[in-house]
Amino acid sequence: MSTWFTRRRSTVELPRLAPRADRAPAVRVDLHEVMPDLLPYLGQAAYLQLEQFQTLSRVAAECGSLRGKELVAAAAGNALSKHQGIVAEIRRRGDDPGEVMKPFADEIEGFSALIVGSDWRETLLSALVTGGLLDDFFIRLAAGLPGDIGPRVGQLLGSDSGQEGVLEVLRAEIEADPQLPSRLAMWGRRLVGDTLLVARSALHLSGNRATDDERIEPIFTELIAAHTRRMDALGLTA
């Protein structure tokens, strides 16, 4: 697993997307070619949800309004429910969730430290951006899981994340502070690179950068498009 969080932000390399005019029609990736093994997939997904819960719980404690606290706490509860659902899938196989998650703990915690903003509003945007991108990514990967576990995990990750509540809180903050939109837009752009490195680290790639980028481009194109819609919902430039 690559140590994405030790890289300087200025040198992060993202998958290179072809210009829109030159891009061929999207081709679906054979997910079986790039899928991680089942337990690493479940372990990483479970720990990411646990970190999302912890991040949102901290933000809920710092929100200035009771309405904001309520909405962010609800989003934290949804992340915890997803974590518990993935843990249940690990136990269903007879494995120890702690041992399955352990290989990912240090690096996910390092990533979480990177996305702490200068105030709770930036950190809340971090949760929205990274949680949205990674949920979308692991939902897509779930289609490549064996047997009936893929649909179960995909449905679990696609369940309510409390995103609308988080958007409501951020919109209220943006309306109250004319200086906030430009700061949040810049922060959001900084988050994308590190988050896509987390996603990339979960894939089984060949090591040939050009070939790998071509194979996974459709996945990342879809992720970035969904991210852009989330930023648009806040009136921010992705």
108: pLDDT strictly greater than 80? yes
Residues 43-59: pLDDT tens digits? 999 999 999 999 999 99
C-alpha to C-alpha distance for 120 and 56, rounded to whole angstroms: 10
Residues 68-93: pLDDT tens digits? 999 999 999 999 999 999 999 999 99
DSSP, res 149: H
Say if 32 falls within a structural domain: no
C-alpha to C-alpha distance for 167 and 162, rounded to whole angstroms: 9
Say if 5 falls within a structural domain: no
Say if 13 falls within a structural domain: no
Structure tokens at 161: 């994340």
Structure tokens at 68: 């904001």
Residues 150-173: pLDDT tens digits? 999 999 999 988 999 999 999 999
3-state secondary structure 176-218: HCCCHHHHHHHHHHHHHHHHHHHHHHCCCCCCCHHHHHHHHHH
Residues 113-140: pLDDT tens digits? 999 999 999 999 999 999 999 999 999 9
Say if 202 falls within a structural domain: yes
Q: Residue 29's pLDDT band (boundaries 50, 70, 90)?
A: low
Say if 141 falls within a structural domain: yes
- Domain CATH code at residue 53: 1.20.1260.10
Say if 206 falls within a structural domain: yes
Whole-number average pLDDT of the chain: 86
Identify which of 206, 221, 198 has the alpha carbon closest to the alpha carbon of residue 5.
198
DSSP, res 11: G
**pLDDT for 210:** 73
224: pLDDT strictly greater than 70? yes
CA distances from 104 to 55, 136, 205 (A): 17, 19, 18
Say if 123 falls within a structural domain: yes
Domain count, the chain: 1
Say if 19 falls within a structural domain: no
Structural domain including 84 reads: 38-233
C-alpha to C-alpha distance for 56 and 68, rounded to whole angstroms: 11
